[in-house]
């Protein structure tokens, strides 16, 4: 190949053989230049023809962490790496406020927590349906459903439960940033994990809903037969049986069942919708 790549360049992709070089300035890389290659005899440049061009060893690129665009806060730690200094936040010209204006609603997460059998998923579906009928866009992140895909590699050990909740919170944050009302329904038994989730969101955008249903009521319902299996020792670390559930101390909404009176899911959903209306989330 007769092409010559001039000046310090980071690792990029270019087409294959027989090419001429040309500079392409990228302001966000502090004056560093990128090169591209043009295939002789062809104007087509496609990803299937691209191959990497090695960066010069003396490349010096100054990178900045600018993550404020997603929620208006400084979110520098967007990676699990100890020092993620090699990544930057790429700002989009279309931001959360623009998307909210388009949808005529405000993005947030409604985090429904409670024991297995407390009615989390049922209320989540009733809430989604109620908001849909009002012309509002929602998405449900159900704890069981997410474990079929994104979190299928996680067990129910304490550390995996924490990672399960972290991943769901990050996905919920993306939905909220898109202007969508995200409904997350999962046991999320530990207070500290829920507090970590709350810290990801701007003030007010994490709405914690506690399904305050006594253990004996949940166990009598046992819609999936899990309590029976846990009592028989066939499931270990089951919340409420041999693993604790830590109720929220300062949640936004409590949906409580008193005695034998079972509040209909639609009525519970209306309680949450009333909260969203009061706080201005159903308008932009």
Whether residue 72 lies inside any domain: the answer is no
pLDDT value, residue 49:
40
Q: Distances from the Cα of 46 to the Cαs of 15, 16, 31, 178, 247, in angstroms?
A: 8, 10, 27, 30, 54
Lowest-pLDDT choice from 67-76, 84-93, 102-111, 114-123: 67-76
Task: Report the mean per-residue pLDDT for the chain.
Answer: 80
Domain with residue 263: its CATH number is 3.40.50.300
Query: Which range in 14-28, 46-60, 119-133 is most confidently predicted, on average pLDDT?
Result: 119-133
Whether residue 45 lies inside any domain: the answer is no
Whether residue 271 lies inside any domain: the answer is yes
Task: Give the CA dihedral 90, 91, 93, 98, nearest 10 degrees.
Answer: 120
User: Rounded distance, CA 282 to CA 270, Å?
Assistant: 13
pLDDT at 147 over 70: yes
pLDDT value, residue 262:
83
Lowest-pLDDT choice from 8-22, 84-98, 247-261: 8-22
Whether residue 76 lies inside any domain: the answer is no
β-bridge partners, 131:
none
Indicate the SS3 state at residue 162: helix
pLDDT value, residue 40:
44
Q: Distances from the Cα of 169 to the Cαs of 15, 26, 77, 235, in angstroms?
A: 39, 33, 15, 26
In the chain, what is the straight-line distance between the N-terminal and C-terminal CA atoms, in Å?
56
Q: Write out pLDDT tens, residues 158-202.
A: 899 999 999 999 999 999 999 999 999 999 999 999 999 999 999
Range(s) of the domain holding residue 192: 99-279
User: Rounded distance, CA 191 to CA 197, Å?
Assistant: 10
Whether residue 176 lies inside any domain: the answer is yes
Q: Domains in the chain: how many in total? A: 1
**Active site amino acids:** 188
User: Rounded distance, CA 46 to CA 80, Å?
Assistant: 32
Lowest-pLDDT choice from 73-77, 91-95, 103-107, 257-261: 73-77
pLDDT value, residue 231:
96
Whether residue 111 lies inside any domain: the answer is yes
| Burial 153-182, CB ≥16 within 10 A → b, else e | ebeeeeeebbbbbbebbebbbebbbebbbb
Whether residue 83 lies inside any domain: the answer is no
Tabulate helix, strand, coil % of the chain (nearest 5).
Answer: 30, 15, 50
pTM above 0.85, yes or no: no
Whether residue 235 lies inside any domain: the answer is yes
């Amino acid at each position: 190949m007769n092409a010559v790549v001039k000046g310090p360049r980071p690792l990029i992709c270019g087409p294959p053989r027989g090419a001429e070089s040309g500079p392409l300035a990228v302001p966000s890389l502090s004056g560093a230049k990128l090169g591209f290659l043009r295939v002789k005899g062809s104007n087509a440049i496609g990803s299937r023809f691209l191959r990497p061009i090695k960066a010069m060893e003396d490349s010096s690129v100054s990178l900045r962490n600018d993550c404020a665009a997603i929620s208006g806060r400084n979110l520098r730690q967007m990676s699990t790496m100890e020092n993620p200094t090699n990544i930057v936040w790429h700002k989009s010209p279309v931001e959360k406020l623009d998307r909210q204006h388009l949808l005529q609603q405000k993005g947030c997460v409604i985090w429904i927590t409670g024991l297995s059998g407390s009615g989390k998923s049922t209320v989540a579906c009733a809430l989604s349906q109620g908001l849909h009928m009002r012309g509002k866009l929602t998405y449900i992140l159900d704890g069981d459903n997410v474990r079929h895909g994104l979190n299928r590699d996680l067990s129910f050990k304490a550390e995996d439960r924490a990672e399960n909740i972290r991943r769901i919170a990050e996905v919920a944050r993306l939905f909220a940033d898109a202007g969508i009302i995200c409904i997350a329904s999962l046991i999320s038994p530990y207070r500290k994990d829920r507090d970590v989730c709350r810290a990801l969101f701007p003030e007010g955008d994490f709405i914690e809903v506690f399904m305050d249903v006594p253990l004996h009521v949940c166990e009598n319902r046992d819609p999936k037969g899990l309590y029976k299996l846990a009592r028989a020792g066939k499931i270990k670390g089951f919340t409420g049986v041999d693993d604790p559930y830590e109720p929220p101390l300062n949640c936004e909404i409590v949906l409580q069942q008193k005695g034998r009176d079972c509040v209909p899911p639609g009525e519970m959903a209306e309680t949450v919708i009333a909260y969203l209306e009061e706080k201005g989330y159903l308008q932009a």
